[in-house]
């Protein structure tokens, strides 16, 4: 049994994927803007990820922009039948790399067609609508108009399944009232657990939750505690953080990103990492630490 198989699988749309995927955001240049420093290395990393058994890649045409999707196409097209590529719409990049809202019907339509073209497919397997009322994180606001535009594209056969990103529980409820939502992608990790109740409600509904930034927003004290656990079990902090996510709930599908093959292999090894009772007790307390 390989490392990925040890973490189990979960439903993503109408497909079943390994619970540990790959986030392609870091393949673009600094600040997720412009080309990578080493294009050949980026292509090699994508091929290594798929060869290692990863069957869930998260991307967006806003990464670069266009750069990451073009790399994914060059490295992996024609795509393996078991590979699920998830992309997102709702944001565009400014000329200096800013992340700007792009949620009008025309914006959504244009972004879907950009993703189709740059990924080289006729239908996008899963498209997440990223709510951009506040680029820094979830903020209330109606997602009815942009989601309706995405549903229209689904009816046209351009999109197979729809997910949500950067959303509140209320927006998830609104989205589920309009259409089937197959996944929710938000910031969640050991230290940032605002979505605990949402994760549990989605698990009860058999809906995937895709956490990003496994180490985002940690305080020095939280980082120190994580370091202690990592040293005690002979692992890296990121491996411990990923192992905790995999233990948190069976519907969590982490998508750690990296531009390094060595780090990719370390991330994959986290799927087989065993956390003892003492380790879990320490880690579970981190969200309450200042």
Give catalytic residues, as residue numbers.
63
Residue 270, SS3 per DSSP: helix
Residue 87, SS3 per DSSP: strand
Q: Record the tokens describing residue 186, joined without a space.
A: 């938000």
Per DSSP bridges, beta strands 99-101 and 91-93 are: antiparallel
What secondary structure letter does DSSP report for 275?
Answer: P
CA 143 to chain centre: 20
Helices of type H across 52-104: 67-76
Burial of 262 (0-12, 13-18, 19+ CB in 10 A): exposed
CA atoms within 13 A on the CB side of 58: 30
With vertex at residue 20, the alpha carbon angle to CA 18 and CA 22, rounded to the nearest 5 degrees, is 115
Q: Could you tell me if 219 and 289 are in contact, meaning their C-beta atoms sit under 8 angstroms apart? A: yes
Helices of type H across the chain: 3-6, 39-51, 67-76, 105-119, 144-155, 169-178, 196-204, 220-233, 237-248, 261-269, 277-284
Q: How many whole angstroms separate alpha carbon 129 and alpha carbon 270?
A: 29
CA atoms within 13 A on the CB side of 5: 4
Tokens 């009815």 belong to which residue?
Answer: 144
């Amino acid at each position: 049994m390989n490392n990925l198989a040890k973490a189990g699988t979960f439903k993503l749309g109408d497909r079943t994927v390994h619970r540990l995927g790959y986030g392609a955001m870091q393949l673009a240049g600094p600040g997720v803007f412009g080309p990578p420093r080493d294009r050949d290395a980026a292509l090699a990393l994508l091929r290594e990820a798929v060869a290692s058994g990863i069957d869930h890649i998260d991307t967006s045409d806003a990464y670069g922009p266009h750069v990451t999707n073009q790399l994914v196409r060059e490295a992996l097209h024609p795509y393996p039948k078991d590979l699920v590529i998830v992309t997102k719409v709702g944001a565009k990049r400014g000329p200096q790399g800013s992340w700007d809202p792009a949620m009008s019907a025309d914006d959504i339509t244009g972004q879907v067609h950009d993703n189709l073209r740059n990924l080289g497919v006729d239908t996008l397997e899963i498209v997440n609508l990223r709510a951009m009322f506040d680029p820094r994180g979830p903020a209330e606001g109606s997602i009815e108009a942009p989601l309706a535009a995405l549903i229209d594209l689904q009816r046209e056969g351009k999109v197979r399944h729809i997910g949500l990103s950067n959303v509140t529980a209320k927006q998830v409820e609104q989205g589920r009232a309009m259409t089937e939502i197959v996944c929710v992608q938000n910031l969640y990790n050991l230290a940032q657990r605002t979505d605990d109740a949402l994760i549990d409600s989605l698990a009860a509904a058999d809906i995937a939750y895709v956490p990003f930034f496994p180490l985002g927003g940690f305080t020095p004290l939280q980082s120190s505690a994580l370091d202690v656990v990592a040293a005690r079990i002979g692992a890296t902090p990121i491996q411990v953080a990923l192992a905790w996510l995999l233990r948190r709930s069976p519907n969590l599908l982490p998508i750690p990103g990296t531009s390094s093959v060595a780090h990719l292999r370390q991330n994959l090894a986290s799927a087989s990492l065993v956390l003892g009772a003492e380790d879990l007790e320490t880690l579970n307390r981190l969200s309450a630490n200042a």
